[in-house]
Amino acid sequence: MTAEVQKYTLAQVEALELAPATEHENLEGWVPALASEDELRLALEKALDYRGDVTLTLKSGERIEAFIFNRQTGATLADSWVAYFTPKADDKRKVSYAEIARIEFTGKDRAAGKHWEDWVKKYNERKAAGETNIALAPDALE
Amino acid sequence: MAIPISQMATVASYVLKKRLTGTKRYPLVLMLEPLFRCSLACAGCGKVQYPPHILKKQLTPEECFAAVDECGAPMVSIPGGEPLLHPQIVEIVNGLVARKKYVYLCTNALELKKRLPEFTPSKYLTFSVHLDGQREHHDFSVCREGGYDIAVAGIQEAVQRGFRVTTNATFFDGTDPNSVRAFFDEVMSMGVEGIVLSPGYSYDKAPDQNRFLGRARVRRLFRGILSNRKPTWKFNMSPLFLEFLMGDRNYECTPWGMPAYNIFGWQKPCYLLQEGYAESYKELLATTNWSEYGVASGNPKCANCMVSCGYETTAVIDGFGSVKGFLAMVRGNFSKYRDPHALKLLSESQPAQHGKLVQIDSPVLEETRA
């Protein structure tokens, strides 16, 4: 056995070792200010990480509902882009950072909520009410 | 030893060929995700939280074959989502088997028993059934009562029909090592070829953010689970990776070794982190700054990771890349890993509890969620 495994008591390991959790940012409904290039870049990074759709308004006035899944950042906004899927088309699309005027986090954040503790609470309530075959179901495909 | 000789020979010759040609980075297993849609909503999973229009998308068989042909890995794991929900999954599997790829179709087995007649047994095809522990633990893990019984029925039918079958478990904080050992007895008695296991990864999109294991806890847990093995237990994994989990080996991550391909492209940098996509495996290799990943990099997203998709490749390359590694692998296949201290760990184990559940009278509930 390695020294590392043996050197800790259970109490020490308990105290030392639990991976830190991620603090979810509540971004649903957020409309970031895009006064500067840095604000636009930061907002698009958050959009990339967001598990819901956003609505992009382009400088041309076009509005795009998009799930952003990729980006390439260059030295200028013109050579930076995001890649996205829209609900209405099958193909991957790209738009330059330079064309984006506004971002709205309009879609439901699919990674928010659904905590384990909520499942336990719901389970106990439904069981106490006499239900059987209790289960969490995936979100409907609408 | 659970892995067939022919599969080991294929992997060994592949690794040796790469070494002889001086190839520094190459894939060992392609993680092919044909869709993200799933029939379960497990609390520890961060893979399926997407808007409906993304969940409805899926790779075509041609896209799957192109990815497999491009990267050239000898093994293909098909996770998801639930692959059996893909309407062309049989065509995809048959195409990969025709390419002589060793395919691990990862399934929650809710549909397995019904779908088995559509598949043909082959040494290239293994059903890797998600089973996280004994009945109560698995059902609670996948947030569905009755899930264990359905999965076991699928396993038994697949074994009876002559398919290769493994179980695939992910363990999180609160796992009771004694229960896991009893679980190993149960699954081996079902006639499966071997067991696959991994500590969970702290997906930042997973609903349950309170139970991810740090590295010292992982070693302690797996020390208890994997020491003093019973002769009936078989693992469909590198023994050196299991030694890594037990704390006997230090490995660095090989993030390019099990690349993930899905509807978005080739995932950067690995199956677990999601920092963008490349259009090809070649582009993935060329445009990812690999020094930013792995424990040694100091990247906090990698700090607690000991997951198989990053470290088993390292172990396999170690095992087939040198005489010393090969001998250690052979020894590992036959060792029982006797360890009195690990027995003490088992006796000290106190299952965690989230609150007593109605359907479980005693003892208190342990979580082994994926």
The amino acid at B102 = Y
The amino acid at B268 = K
- Of A135 and B249, the structure prediction assigns the larger pLDDT to B249
Rounded to whole angstroms, how far apart are CA atoms B105 and B113?
A: 14
Q: Residue A56: inside a domain, yes or no? A: yes
Rounded to whole angstroms, how far apart are CA atoms B92 and B97?
A: 9
Q: Is A113 on the interface with B (CB under 8 A)?
A: yes
Q: Residue B76 in 3-state DSSP?
A: strand
Q: Residue A4 in 3-state DSSP?
A: helix
Nearest-by-CA chain A residue for B302: A19
Centre a 10 Å sphere on the Cβ of residue B261 and count the other Cβ atoms it contains.
28
For residue B38, give the nearest of A83, A114, A138 by CB distance. Answer: A138
Tokens of B223: 């020390």
Centre a 10 Å sphere on the Cβ of residue B232 and count the other Cβ atoms it contains.
9
Question: What are the backbone dihedrals phi and psi of residue B253, each rounded to the nearest 5 degrees, phi first?
Answer: -70, 145
Domain residue limits at A85: 27-132
Contact list, B41 vs chain A (CB under 8 Å): 114, 136-139
Q: Which of A62-76, B158-172, B197-211 has the lowest mean pLDDT?
A: B197-211
Q: Is the peptide bond before B87 cis (omega within 30 degrees of 0)?
A: no
Q: Residue A1: inside a domain, yes or no? A: no
B361, pLDDT greater than 50: no
- Give the CATH number for residue A118: 3.90.70
Exposure on the CB side of residue B14, measured as CA atoms within 13 A: 22
Q: What is the mean pLDDT of residues A66-79?
A: 97
Contact list, B204 vs chain A (CB under 8 Å): 22, 24
Q: Is B363 on the interface with A (CB under 8 A)?
A: no
Q: Residue A95: inside a domain, yes or no? A: yes
A60, pLDDT greater than 50: yes
How high does pLDDT run on average in chain B? 89
CATH 3.80.30.10 at B5-348, yes or no: yes
Select the residue from B205, B215, B266 to test the A interface by mutation, using most A Cβ atoms within 10 A.
Answer: B205
pLDDT of residue A123: 77
Q: Is B220 on the interface with A (CB under 8 A)?
A: yes
pLDDT in tens, B97-131: 999 999 999 999 999 999 999 999 999 999 999 99
Q: Residue A115: inside a domain, yes or no? A: yes
Select the residue from B37, B203, B220, B359 to test the A interface by mutation, using most A Cβ atoms within 10 A.
Answer: B220
- Distance (Å) from the C-alpha of residue A100 to the closest C-alpha of chain B? 19
Q: Is B48 on the interface with A (CB under 8 A)?
A: yes
Number of structural domains chain A divides into = 1
Q: If 0-12 CB within 10 Å is exposed, 13-18 middle and 19+ buried, where does residue B272 land?
A: buried
pLDDT of residue B136: 87
B202, pLDDT greater than 50: yes
B10, pLDDT greater than 90: yes
Q: Residue A53: inside a domain, yes or no? A: yes
| pTM of the full structure | 0.89
Q: Is B343 on the interface with A (CB under 8 A)?
A: no
Residue of B234, B311, B342 whose CA lies nearest to B3: B234
Q: Residue A33 in 3-state DSSP?
A: coil
- Distance (Å) from the C-alpha of residue B35 to the closest C-alpha of chain A? 13
Pairing status of strand B29-32 against strand B260-262 = parallel
pLDDT of residue B368: 28
Complex ipTM more than 0.90, yes or no? no
- Residue B213: band (very low, low, confident or very high) from pLDDT cuts 50, 70, 90: low
Q: What is the mean pLDDT of residues A20-24?
A: 62
pLDDT in tens, A81-111: 999 999 999 999 999 999 999 999 999 998 8
* Count of A-B CB contacts under 8 Å: 154
pLDDT of residue B32: 98
Domain boundaries, chain B: 5-348
pLDDT in tens, B126-154: 999 999 999 988 988 888 989 999 999 99
